[in-house]
Chain A
Amino acid sequence: MRMLPRLGTVVEAFRVRQKASMTHASSPLLHADRLSVARGDALLIEELSFALQPGEALHVLGENGAGKSTLLLALAGLIPLASGTVAVDRDALAFLGHDNGLLPDLSVAENMALYAGSGVVADPQTCEALGISKLSAKPARTLSFGQARRVALALTCLPEKALWLLDEPFAGLDTQTAQTLERVLAQHTARRGAVVYTSHERGLAQARNLTLAPRGDEDV
C-alpha cells in the first residue's frame, strides 16, 4: 500500500465510502471485489464490488472529485489498490485517460505508426467513422481538443480488446462525433465486449449506472 503524502502538499484527508454490488454471472470480463483506492491521504473508494459481463456497459457517474478517474486508473492497474482485488485479463484491456497520449511533435499518422509498432493498431472502420484520415498529416500539437480526442479514441477502441476503460470519452466531441462514438461503443457491446466509461455529457442507453457519491452514499 503506497499512501505516502506528496512532499510540499498539504492534503486534507477525507473519507468517501463507495459501495456497490452487482449481479454476478459466470465468467465476467471484470470483477472488482471489495476494492478500496486512495489518492494521497484521501481514501476515495472503499470496498466497492461489482462485476461486468460480456456485452455490458457501465456508466460511472459522480461529481468532480468523487473518484471516477481514480476508479478507472485502479481498474487499469495504473495505481495501487489500498485493498481488495481486481480480476481482469490484462491483455484484453484498452484504456483512455484524461491525457490523449499523443506525442505533440509527431503527426497523427506518425503517432498511429508509433502505437502500431507497439501492437496497438487502430481499427480502420473506427478511424473512418471518427474521421481520422483528414487529420493524419497534422502535427498532434495543432489538433483541437476534440480532434485529439478522436485520434485517441481511434487508438483505444480496438475490437480485439474486450474491455474498454474510457475516462470522459465524449469530452470535447461535437454532437455528430459523439453520436458516432455511441454507435462504436454499442457495436462493441453487441459483439460481447464490455465498456466502463465516465461521462458528464451523455451515455449509452443500455448502460448500467454506477454513481460514486461522497459521504458513503451509493447508487447502482
Chain B
Amino acid sequence: MFSAGLRLELRLRLRGGLTALGALGFLAVALTAVGLTLGQFPERLRPAGPAIGWAMIVLAFVYANADWWLDQIQSGLNQRFRVMAADAAGFVYGRAVGGWLASLPWFLIAAWLVTLFYSQPTSAFSALAAGLLISASALTALSAFVSALRTLLGNVGVFLGAMALPFALPLVVLGVGLVDSFTLASCAFMLGVSLLQTLVFIVATRWVLSLV
C-alpha cells in the first residue's frame, strides 16, 4: 500500500505539472515585486535576497500543496480506504513520501530563481539548494499540517500562508544562515531540525484531524 500511494502521488504530480508551474510563477512574480520595490537600493537587496527568497518559496510551496492533503483527507477515497483497504495508513504515508520526492526538483528551480533574481553568487545557489533539499521533508509535512488546519477551520484563503510562515521560521533562519556559512556542521544541524519538525508536523496533523 505504501508503494501504491507513492506511485499514485508521483503520477499525479507529473500530470499536475501546471500546478508546479503556477507555484513557480507565483514565486517569480513575488521575487520580482520585492526586487522592484528595493531595486533602487541594490546594496540592501542583495543581503536580503536569501531571506526574502526563503519566505516566498515557503509561501509558494504551501499554496501549491494546499489542496493535496484536502484531497486525501476529506475525500471518499480516504473513507473507503480506511474501511476496506488492507493498509490505509501505508497508502497515506506513501503519498506523503511521493509528495516529498516530487518537491525536490521544484526546490532546485526555486533556489535558482532566487539566485538569479537577487544576483547572488553561485555559492549562494548551492547553499540555498542544499538548505531547501534538507528542509523538503519538513516543508512537505508543514503543508500537510496547514491543510489539516484548513480542514478544521474552513476556507481560510489568504491566511493560509500566514499560518504556514511562522511554523517555517526556524528553517528560514537556518537556511539564510547557511548562505553566510555553508558548512557541513550547519547542514547537519539543519537536517536535525528538519527531521524533528517533520515528526512534529506529522503528529500535529494527526491531532488536528482527530478534531475535525
- A118→B87 contact, CB < 8 A: yes
A residues near B91, Cβ cutoff 8 Å? 118
**In the complex, A26 Cα to B25 Cα: how many Å?**
64
Interfacial residues of chain A within 9-50, with CB under 8 A of chain B in the complex: 9
Q: What's the Cα separation between A152 and B82 when bound, in Å? A: 15
Q: Which of A7, A76, A98 contacts B83 (CB 8 A)?
A: A76
Within 8 A of B (CB), among A111-162: 114-115, 117-120, 152, 155-156, 161
The secondary structure that dominates the B interface is helix
Known: A99-B75, A105-B16, A117-B4. A7 touches B82 (CB 8 A): no
Q: Given the known A-B contacts A78-B82, A119-B86, are A4 and B211 also in contact in the complex, defined by CB atoms under 8 Å? A: yes
How many residues on B have C-beta within 8 angstroms of the other chain's C-beta atoms? 28
In the complex, what's the smallest C-beta–C-beta distance from B179 to chain A, in angstroms?
A: 37
- Closest residue to B75 on the A side, CB-wise? A99
Complex contact B210–A7 (CB within 8 A) = no
Residues of A within 8 A of B169 (CB): none
What CA separation (Å) do A156 and B85 show in the bound complex? Answer: 11
A119 touches B85 (CB 8 A): yes
Q: How large is the interface on A (under 10, 10 to 19, 20 to 34, 35 or more residues)?
A: 35 or more
Q: Which residues of B contact A155 (CB under 8 A)?
A: 80
Please give, as numbers and ranges, the residues of chain A lying within 8 Å of B75 by CB-CB distance.
Answer: 99, 101, 103
Query: Please, which residue of chain B has its CB at the minimum distance from the CB of A77?
Result: B83
Cβ contacts under 8 Å, B79 to chain A: 73, 76, 78, 95, 97, 99, 101
Q: How far is the CB of B80 from chain A (nearest CB, A)?
A: 4
CB < 8 Å: which of B1, B16, B71 contacts A118? B1
B199: interface (CB < 8 Å):
no
Residues of A within 8 Å of B77, CB to CB, are: 99, 101-103
Q: How far is the CA of A126 from the CA of B177 in the complex (A)?
A: 61
When distances are taken between beta carbons in the complex, the residues of chain B under 8 Å from A9 are: 154
Chain B residues with CB below 8 A from A51, complex form: none
Chain B window 20-42, contacts with chain A (Cβ cutoff 8 Å), 1 for yes, 0 for no: 00000000000000000000000
16 contacts between A and B (CB under 8 A): A4-B211, A6-B152, A8-B153, A73-B79, A78-B79, A95-B80, A97-B80, A101-B79, A102-B77, A114-B4, A114-B8, A115-B85, A118-B84, A120-B80, A156-B80, A156-B84
B contact residues vs A (CB 8 Å cutoff)? 1, 4, 8, 12, 15-16, 71, 75-88, 91, 152-154, 210-212
